[in-house]
Structure formats: C-alpha cells, structure tokens
Amino acid sequence: MTNENRQTQRAPETDRSGRREFLRAVGASPAVAAAGLATGASAAEPSAARLPQIQLGPHRVSRLVCGANPFNGGSHLSTFVNRQMKAYYTPEQILKTLKRCQEVGINCWQSSGANLELYRRFREEGGQMHYLSLDAQRKDGSNLQQLADAGAIGCAHHGEVTDRLFKDGRIDEVRDFLKKIRDHGLLVGVSTHMPDVVDTIESKDWDLDFYMTCVYERHRSAEALEALLGQAPIPVGEVYLPKDPPRMFKAIQATKRPCLAFKILAAGRLSDRRHWVEQAFRDTYASIKPTDSVIIGIYDQYDDQPADCAEMCRKYSGAGGA
C-alpha cells in the first residue's frame, strides 16, 4: 500500500499464505453494498460493510479514504515502481478497485481534478463514493467549477504548493485560493507535510473545514537533512524520519478541525512486513482525534488491499466519528 503502496514484487510464499489466511479471516469475499453518501449507510446495508465514520461538513466520511497516488503512477519510491503502477492501473482497473473499496465500506476517494472524468464514469456505473480533490490556484477558477459540477464535496490546497509558499514566507497567498473554494460551494481544506503550517493557520484562524496532513515531512532540503543527520543522503530525495509522525500528531491533536492523515506507511517503505503495517495503523489511529480519518493509497495487484486496510481501520480506529 502506498499514499501508501505495498511492495510490487511477490512476497515469499510464507508471507503470501499469511496474507491469504488474514484475508479469509476478515471476510475478503464477495462484498456488500457500501455506505450511503450524505447520511452514512442505508438501512439495508449489512453491518459487516460499515466502517467507522467522521463528519466532514454535512457529509459522513469513512475513517479510511482511498488515495490516488498508485492510480496515477506516483509511488514516491522509484521510476520503476511508478511504471509498474501505471501499467496496472488502467481506467478499467481503477474503477474495479474503487468498486472493491466501496464494497468493504470505504466511501471516499481523494484524488485531483485530473481524475474527474473517471469519477463521473464511476458514478454513472452506479458507484457511490465521495470525492475530495487536491488543487492549486488557477486565475480563472475553472478547475473549481469543474469540481463542483462533477459532485466533489471539497478541495484542499495542494500540499507541495502550500509548503513552498510557507517556506518563502508567503503562506497568506493560500488564503486567497481558499476563499475561491468556498465561493464554489465546496468544503475548504489545506494539505501540508509540515506541522508548522497547521500551527500557523490555526493561529490565524482561517475559514477552513479540514486539513490533509502528511505524517512525514518528506521534502527537506539537503542542508536541512545535513543539519539533522550530520550528512545528506545520496541522492537527496524523499527521506522519511521516524520522529516525524509524533510531531504531526501533536499538530493534529491541537486543532478541532478534522484532519486526514496520509503517508502513514512512509510511502510504502513500511509495507514489507506485516507487523510494520499493523503498527502504523495502530499508532496513527491512537494518535489522531476520533473526528479524523486516514488516507491510504491502494495497490491491489497482488492481494485484496481494500479489505485488508478496511479491517485494520475497524480494528484500530474504534467507533470514532461525530
């Protein structure tokens, strides 16, 4: 799993058999109808398909959200993994994976404007999942109108842009875009990889509905890494430090606004061992608020990750929600 992905090579036979036994235990079988949208699950929905939910504006959103990086070929691991993901995730396979997510109780897809047409197709084929977008500002605001027209429930200012503006001392420019999101009737969010961004926005009390919070500050400069580690890795790329999640969890706990924590598996780096995955889910749900959710990228070429992740959500998130 990534944004999170699991490894793209087949695991040893003992690991594969263990996963199969786990999936049989959690009911990775032909599944049931997924949660309804604005008011949660329908009365006819079997309880086995339900996941704990939070309130996001007027909407009920599962405490596990499907991310989009694997769908888009963005592994945050290597160009080879990117190519493998892109080859696997044809439009037809993405729709199949989304339907499986819906079956196991995941009722929200977090993506970007680039996948709006696929979201429309998903809904035309009977799919019922919320859509949350990432985006950055365009002068004409056409992207926001397209999101609203397609039925998206909200949009978050893109984290890479957010953090760059913050480092440049221009964080207030983000606020202009948030006002445009609000004007289009969408829930307003900010995505970031930096706890300091959350703290700063909180201190300014912006008009905001939710945060998307990466638990790892993965884009430090070579100079910053050298100051922390005594040397910079070669090549300087994405570095995931184990002391980062507690820092972001502290910022998450300090805001009353819902937060959607992402990259809890360090963009797949914690996916090679079952106990690492379990620990990441356990620690994350124990460290965020009951009104928060988790975004996980699904890469299901080799196993039933939607069912696997949904079971860990049930196991570790508790009843949760507002």
CB 191 within 8 A of CB 162: yes
Structural contact between residues 132 and 110, judged by C-beta atoms closer than 8 angstroms: yes
First-to-final CA distance of the chain: 28
CA distance 287 to 5: 22
The predicted-structure confidence for 141-191, as pLDDT tens digits, reads as follows: 678 999 999 999 999 999 989 999 999 999 999 999 999 999 999 999 999
Task: Measure the CA–CA gap between 121 and 99, rounded to whole angstroms.
Answer: 12
Q: Which domains can be identified in the chain, with CATH numbers?
A: 51-229+242-317 (3.20.20.100)
Query: Rounded CA gap, 166 and 306, in Å?
Result: 35
Residue 209 has pLDDT above 90, yes or no: yes
Cβ atoms of residues 102 and 316 within 8 Å? no
Tens digits of residue pLDDT in 263-283? 999 878 888 899 999 999 999
Pick from 147, 154, 141: nearest CA to 115: 147
Higher pLDDT, 49 or 11: 49
Strands 59-62 and 53-56: antiparallel
Burial 60-92 (b: 16+ CB within 10 A, else e): bbbbbbbbbbbbbbbbbbeeebbebbeebbeee
- Locus of tokens 């900010």: 190
Higher pLDDT, 112 or 39: 112
Q: What is the pLDDT of residues 17-48, one digit of tens each?
A: 444 443 333 333 333 333 333 334 433 344 55
Closest CA to 55 of 3, 101, 107: 107
Helix or strand holding residue 237 (H, E): none
Which amino acid is residue 155, in one-letter code? C
- 22 exposure class (CB count in 10 Å sphere: 0-12, 13-18, 19+): middle
Closest CA to 104 of 318, 317, 308, 320: 308
DSSP 201: H
Q: In this predicted structure, which of 72-76, 231-235, 252-256, 258-262 has the lowest mean pLDDT?
A: 231-235
* Non-local CB neighbours of 25 within 8 Å, separated by 6+ positions: none
Residue 10 confidence (pLDDT) above 60 = no
* pTM, 2 dp: 0.82
- Check residue 81 and give its pLDDT: 83
Average pLDDT, stretch 182-205?
97
Helix 116-124 to helix 91-103 angle, to the nearest 10 degrees?
Answer: 60
- For 50-104, the DSSP string reads ---EEEETTEEEESEEE--TTTTT--SS-HHHHHHHHHH--HHHHHHHHHHHHHT
Distance CA 162, CA 195 (A): 12
What is the rounded distance in angstroms from the CA atom of residue 280 to the CA atom of residue 265?
Answer: 6
The mean of the pLDDT values for the chain is 83
